[in-house]
């Protein structure tokens, strides 16, 4: 694989600077000038690579989603056993590597920005689509899950995403009341219960 182009490196530099600005000041406070200062480029250079701030938000969501999926794959790929892959995958999504003040705060800010911008909303929708797809792909290697109907599989994947996002939001708001280890254990049990007692979907 060839070296990244100067343009790609500069875009990544700006995206990372945007992330840092959002972590410090929120999306509302992450002005073009502040992003440029953080990236150590001029505002005109920033405009050369991105047409507006919304495009930076869209690409930032994709960039950090790709990073998450890379780390997710690194956790599960070494394991041949399906149950072990599931276990390692769940451990990752409920770990401080994925649920932490900076990362969680950043995505919450992007979700707020998506409320009034369909482009950003579509990008976040794709994030959840990838999340559900990855879950289904890895659960499919488990005998019990593979026997489920397609609609049941999708519902199970959606349930796991909902559990993760709900726990993440509650942890962010009140970390002293949420134990990520307990959430992980409960999610494992719920997946097993779902597989053994699949709902009837019309």
Instruction: Kindly report, residue by residue over 59-111, the tens digit of the pLDDT.
Output: 999 999 899 888 888 888 888 888 888 888 899 999 998 999 999 999 999 99
Count of residues making up the chain: 202
pLDDT band at 4 (very low <50, low <70, confident <90, very high): low
Architecture of the structural domain at 52-196: Orthogonal Bundle (1.10)
* Statement: residue 116 has pLDDT above 80: yes
Residues 6+ apart with CB under 8 A from 43: 32, 33, 36
Confidence check: pLDDT of 3 > 80:
no
Q: Report the CATH architecture of 1-50.
A: Orthogonal Bundle (1.10)
Checking if the pLDDT of 168 tops 60, the result is yes
Q: What are the distances in angstroms from CA 84 to CA 6, 81, 91, 129, 163?
A: 40, 5, 10, 23, 20
CA distances from 196 to 81, 122, 152 (A): 20, 34, 12
Residue 1: pLDDT over 50:
no
- 25-58: pLDDT as tens digits: 999 999 999 999 999 999 999 999 999 989 999 9
What is the rounded CA–CA span in Å between residue 124 and residue 129?
9
Q: Domain residue spans in the chain?
A: 1-50, 52-196
């Amino acid at each position: 694989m060839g070296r990244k182009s100067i343009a790609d490196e500069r875009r990544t530099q700006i995206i990372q600077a945007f992330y840092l600005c959002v972590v410090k000041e929120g999306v509302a406070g992450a002005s073009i000038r502040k992003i440029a200062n953080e990236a150590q480029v001029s505002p005109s250079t920033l405009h050369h690579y991105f047409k507006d701030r919304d495009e930076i938000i869209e690409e930032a969501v994709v960039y950090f989603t790709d990073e998450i999926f890379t780390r997710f794959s690194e956790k599960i790929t070494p394991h041949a056993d399906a149950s072990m892959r599931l276990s390692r995958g769940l451990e990752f999504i409920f770990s401080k590597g994925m649920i932490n003040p900076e990362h969680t705060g950043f995505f919450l800010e992007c979700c707020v920005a998506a409320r009034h911008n369909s482009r950003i909303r579509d990008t976040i929708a794709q994030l959840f689509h990838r999340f559900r797809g990855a879950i289904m792909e890895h659960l499919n290697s488990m005998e019990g899950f593979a026997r489920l109907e397609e609609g049941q599989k999708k519902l199970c994947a959606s349930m796991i995403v909902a559990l993760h996002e709900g726990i993440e939001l509650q942890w962010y708001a009140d970390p002293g009341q949420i134990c990520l280890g307990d959430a992980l254990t409960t999610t494992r049990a719920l997946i097993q219960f779902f597989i053994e007692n699949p709902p009837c979907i019309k």
